[in-house]
Structure 1
Amino acid sequence: MRDRKGKNRLVFVVSWTAVFLWMAIIFYLSAQVATQSDELSQGIAEKLFSVIAKAFPWLSGEYIQANFIVRKSAHFLSYLMMGLLTMNALRRSGVKGLRLVAIAIVICVLYAISDEVHQLFVPGRSGQIKDVLIDSGGAIVGTVFHRLFERRG
Structure 2
Amino acid sequence: MKSSFWKYQLKYWVPVYIWLIFIFYLSSQPTIPTSSYFATIFSIGPHLQHIFIYAILALFIYRALTHTKTPSKFLVVFSTTFYGFLDEIHQYYVPGRTFDWFDIGMNFLGAILALILIAIFRKRTDR
If the length of structure 1 is used for normalisation, what is the TM-score? 0.68
Q: Taking every aligned residue pair, what percent have the same amino acid on both sides?
A: 25
The corresponding residue for 1:116 is 88
Specify the alignment match of 1:105 in structure 2. 77
- Residue by residue over 1:86-120, the C-alpha shift from the partner in whole angstroms, topping out at 9 and shown as x without a partner, is 10101112323xxx100110100100100110000
SS class of match (1:124)? coil
Local SS of the residue matching 1:92: coil
Partner of 1:88: 63
Q: Which has the higher helix share?
A: 1
Post-superposition Cα deviations, 1:30-66, rounded to whole Å, max 9, x if no partner, equal 00013xx2x529x83xx79xxxxxxxxxxxxxxxxxx
Alignment partners' CA distance in 2, 1:117 and 1:27 = 11
1:29 equivalent among 26, 31, 51: 26
5+ residue gaps, structure 1, are 49-66
Deviation at 1:150, TM superposition (A): 3.9
Cα separation, 2, equivalents of 1:110 and 1:89:
17
Deviations 1:97-144 (A, max 9, x none): xxx100110100100100110000000100100000011101111122
After superposition, the Cα gap between the structure-2 partners of 1:105 and 1:126, relative to the gap in structure 1 and judged at 3 Å, is: same
Whichever residue aligns with residue 86 of structure 1, its letter is I
- SS of residue paired to 1:93: coil
The amino acid of 2:34's aligned partner reads: L
Q: So what's the TM-score if we normalise by structure 2?
A: 0.80
> Which secondary structure state, in structure 1, belongs to the residue aligned with residue 45 of structure 2?
helix
d(CA) in 2 for partners of 1:16 and 1:150?
22
1:146 to partner: Cα distance: 2.2
Matched, 1:130 2:102: yes
Letter in 2 for 1:22: W
Aligned to 1:79: 54
